[in-house]
Amino acid sequence: MLALVAPARAQIGPLPPAAPQPPPAPPSQSVKTDNGGGLSSNVELIIVVAAGLLIAGIAFVIVRDARRSAPVPERKRDPDAPKLSARERERAQRQRREKAKAARRQRKRNRRR
């Protein structure tokens, strides 16, 4: 096997000299301007205004939906309304809780299976 490696190395010789490089060409004197390839300023303005209106419309829809989905705040108490005693407030709280429990039980019964 070593005998085959020696002749293979002998076939690799030094690299030939590189070809001479031609001198760089001098820069041209003519300067071309290309003004016909872009959008006009009127079209750009229309695109910007349309994008602004689209974003404003999306924001309006999001805010409107958020307001509809937000919890309804409790009404302010009328200052002239009589104040409830502690027992009456507790009774009203118990009634609200019982009503909520009944609603949860009803929803459980009406679930699809």
Question: pLDDT, tens digit, for every residue of 98-107?
Answer: 999 999 999 9
Q: How confident is the model at residue 81 (pLDDT cuts 50, 70, 90)?
A: confident
The pLDDT assigned to 7 comes to: 56
pLDDT tens per residue across span 8-46? 555 666 666 777 777 777 776 765 665 566 778 899 999
pLDDT at 86 over 60: yes
CA dihedral of residues 45, 47, 49, 51 (deg, nearest 10): -150
Residues 6+ apart with CB under 8 A from 84: 92
Picking from 76, 57, 55, 75, the residue whose alpha carbon sits closest to that of residue 65 is 57
pTM: 0.35
- How far apart are the C-alpha atoms of 16 and 43, rounded to whole Å? 60
Arithmetic mean of pLDDT over the chain: 81
Q: How confident is the model at residue 3 (pLDDT cuts 50, 70, 90)?
A: low
Q: What would the DSSP string read from start to end of 7-67?
A: HHHHH--PPPPPPPPPPPPPPPS------SSS--HHHHHHHHHHHHHHHHHHHHHHHHHHH
pLDDT at 69 over 90: no
The pLDDT assigned to 31 comes to: 58
